[in-house]
Structure 1
Amino acid sequence: MRVSVIQMNQGSDKPANLDQARRLIEAAVAADHPGLVTLPETWTNLGGGRDSRRAAAEVLPTPGQAGGAAYEMLRSLARTHGITVHGGSIIEDGGDKLFNTTLVFGPDGSEIARYRKIHLFDITAPDGTGYKESALYGGGSEPAFFEAGGIRFACTICYDIRFPELYLTLRRMGAEAILVPSNFTLQTGKDHWEVLLRARAIDTQCWMIAAASYGNYDERGATRSVYGHSLIADPWGHVVAKCSDGIGWATARIDPAVTARVRAGMPLKEHREAARAWHAKAAS
């Protein structure tokens, strides 16, 4: 099946972000006819501080019930175009805590997956800028999968990519392709983004499908930058589609035959299982 990664330059104006996402998805569908489209991390809001994030947050409904503006837009686009829409992530209002949450809708507009980001971004960047996602967000604890085009997809978000144990677990649970919507900072992205995605593709022998935010945004009067370079990597670690600077999209065909060939020629999963007892003993 064909998959398009959407690259946005969102800010703190939620209606403008929704409009930008809708226009880009519709353009990608018209030009490339994908069976699945995916948006970046927190595409409904980037920047503006705590109040802006809380204002953009949505209480997520029980599947099948009516939701907020972003929820309904994603559902409508999936149903209108007859495609699977992976909604990157939006900000979920969980009451005392927010959550960084992925929503996925099938071609009939039904919700088919929901995932809360497990690993929260609490780091200090090389320039000394601090990020503490856990100050506002709660962490998830459960993996999420969905089927589209005969392929088993797994959900992750941004900072999750730095934890290979998670990705190996997803492979053991049957993942063939893994989505990684992201807001990688410019400083970390220029050195680590493509390297990490290619490494996880090679580790897991899965397709990596990573829609990312690009450009500058305002964070309480300070300008911050995100790296972009949305890409798709195949199970051998080749980058087969990639966005340039600016907003836009890139499309590639996810071919199960490639997955099968890579896994048959180098059966890493089976070799790991055979060595599991040794690894457990060495770690004890």
Structure 2
Amino acid sequence: MRVSVIQMNQGSEKQANLDQARRLVDAAIASDRPGLVSLPETWTNLGGGRESRQAAAERLPAPGETGGAAYELLRGLARGHGIHVHGGSIIEAPGPGDDPEKLYNTTVVFDPEGREIARYRKIHMFDIVAPDGTGYRESALYGAGERLATFEAGGITFGCTICYDMRFAEQYVVLRRMGAEAILVPSNFTLQTGKDHWEPLLKARAIETQCWIIAAASTGQYLERGQPRSVYGHSLVADPWGHVVARASDGTGWATARIDPAITARVRRDMPVMEHRQARRIDLDAAARGA
């Protein structure tokens, strides 16, 4: 199965972002004929502050019902091209039972008939100070998800994560146990952290889970409350051995790779790490306490 990671330079104007996404997805499909395309994190909005994010947010419908502009664009792309579309993540407005003061950073996935087949809310909130002193506090605006998600496409089981999740290896191990053979990581990775951590972290997640890692990312600059910020880009696909087999160049565009289940099977057969994991029979937290 061929997959394409879409690399965008989105900003605070939602309609411009939708137009850019459509243009890049159409071009990637025309060029490389993937069976699945993946967009970056919050591709509908990057920058502009709280008001801009709230304006871009969409209340997600029950599967099968009509949604907002971004939701329907993703569904239309899937149905129109007859492929699976992994919608990176969009900004979700709170629904019934949610904290009304929070938005959610949410993935939706559509099959070739335009049916929603997966939905995942980002679990780990990016509350850090970057090396250049820039502060990020995602939890001030977004609520955290509570459930993992997988879906099947082309005979392959995909797991869903978003950006900062990649620093939490246990989430990826659980997705492997849930049957994942490939894990998606749509991201807006900062330039400061990306130049040192982006590729090593993604390779590590691939190696330890023996899964394909599919990471669509945003690139370039955007304005946050009038101040420029930069994201790293370098969208990539890594194989279960940790080799980067496709990488986007600088600027907007895409990269495409073929997901080969034979490679996955061979790596897992020759190094059966999941069978060797001692966490299945040892309480590692208790061991760390000396219990």
1:14 corresponds to: 14
Q: TM-score, normalised by structure 1?
A: 0.98
Structure 2 counterpart of 1:269, from 270, 274, 280: 274
1:125 corresponds to: 130
Q: Partners in 2 of 1:278 and 1:109 — Cα distance? A: 43
1:170 corresponds to: 175
Shift of 1:275: 6.1
Show structure 2 runs of 5+ residues with no match.
95-99
1:258 corresponds to: 263
Q: TM-score, normalised by structure 2?
A: 0.96
1:230 corresponds to: 235
2:2 corresponds to: 2
Q: Partners in 2 of 1:273 and 1:175 — Cα distance? A: 20
Report the AA paired with residue 141 of structure 1: E
1:243 aligns with 2:248: yes
2:144 corresponds to: 139
Q: Partners in 1 of 2:283 and 2:89 — Cα distance? A: 38
1:211 aligns with 2:216: yes
- Coordinate RMSD, CA, aligned: 1.1
Q: Partners in 2 of 1:11 and 1:108 — Cα distance? A: 30
Question: SS of 1:142's equivalent?
Answer: coil
Q: Which residues in structure 2 correspond to 1:70-89 (within 5 Å)?
A: 70-89=70-89
Shift of 1:281: 5.0
C-alpha distance after superposition, 1:142-167 (max 9, x if no partner) = 00010000000000000000000111
Question: SS of 2:276's equivalent?
Answer: helix
Report the AA paired with residue 92 of structure 1: E
Question: SS of 1:277's equivalent?
Answer: coil
Q: Partners in 1 of 2:158 and 2:280 — Cα distance? A: 26
Report the AA paired with residue 251 of structure 1: T
Show structure 1 runs of 5+ residues with no match.
none
Q: Partners in 1 of 2:203 and 2:47 — Cα distance? A: 28
Shift of 1:172: 1.1
Question: SS of 1:215's equivalent?
Answer: strand
Question: SS of 2:282's equivalent?
Answer: helix
Q: Partners in 1 of 2:176 and 2:280 — Cα distance? A: 16
Shift of 1:181: 0.1
Shift of 1:244: 1.1
Shift of 1:282: 1.8
C-alpha distance after superposition, 1:29-79 (max 9, x if no partner) = 000000000000000000000000000000000010000000000000000
Aligned length: 284
